[in-house]
Amino acid sequence: MLLLVIALELVVKEIIMKNLIIDAANDKIFFKIMVNKESYTSEYWNSRENFDKFVLILFNFLEKNNTSIKEINNIFVNQGPGKYSGIRISVSVAKALSVTNKLNLYGFDSEYVKNHNYDKIIDLFNKGILIKNLIKPQYSS
C-alpha cells in the first residue's frame, strides 16, 4: 500500500500544467506561457495593426516557444478594467481557443497584476478563487 501511495505521489509531481496568459488590457499585448517554474513571455504594441493579426502573433509566440495550443491546459485572460479593443480581441480569441480545443478558461482582473508579475494569477487559480468560464469584461474610458 505504501508503494502505491509513493508511486501516485510521483505521478502527481510529474503532471505538467501549461498555462497561457493573455493580457491586452493596457498599452501592450502581453503573452506568457507558464510551465511549472519556467515561463516564456513576449510583448507587442497594443495597436490596431496588431489587433488585426492578433491570432497570428499568438501562434507565432507559441511556435517560437515550441508549444502547441493542444499542449495548453489553461488560458487566463485579463478581463479588465482596461482598453476596450484590447479586452475585446483577447477575450474573443481566448474563448474561441477554449471552445475549439476544450481548454479551461479563466478571467482575471487587472488589479491582480503588478509589473507583469502573473504569479498571483496562478496562485489564485491554485486556491480555486478564479472561476472557470466566467468572463466579465470591464472596460475603462
pLDDT single digits (tens) 57-68: 999 999 999 999
Edge-first strand order for the sheet with 28-35 is 38-45, 28-35, 18-23, 74-78, 104-108
What grid cell was written down for 50? 496588431
Q: pTM of this prediction? A: 0.85
Residue given cell 474563448 in the structure block: 95
Residue 81 · residue 110 · CB < 8 Å: yes
Q: Hey, which residues does 132 pair with through a beta bridge? A: 106
- Which of 86, 93, 73 lies closest to 33, judged by CA? 73
Tens-digit pLDDT profile for residues 2-29? 555 445 554 444 456 899 999 999 999 9
pLDDT given for residue 138 in this prediction: 83
Structure confidence at residue 4 (pLDDT): 52
What residues in the chain have per-residue pLDDT under 50? 5-6, 10-14
- Report the alpha-carbon distance of residue 25 to residue 41 in Å, rounded: 16
Q: Residue 18's pLDDT is what?
A: 92
How confident is the model at residue 60, as a pLDDT? 96
Euclidean distance between CA atoms 79 and 76, whole angstroms? 9
Peptide bond before 137: cis, by omega within 30 degrees of 0?
no
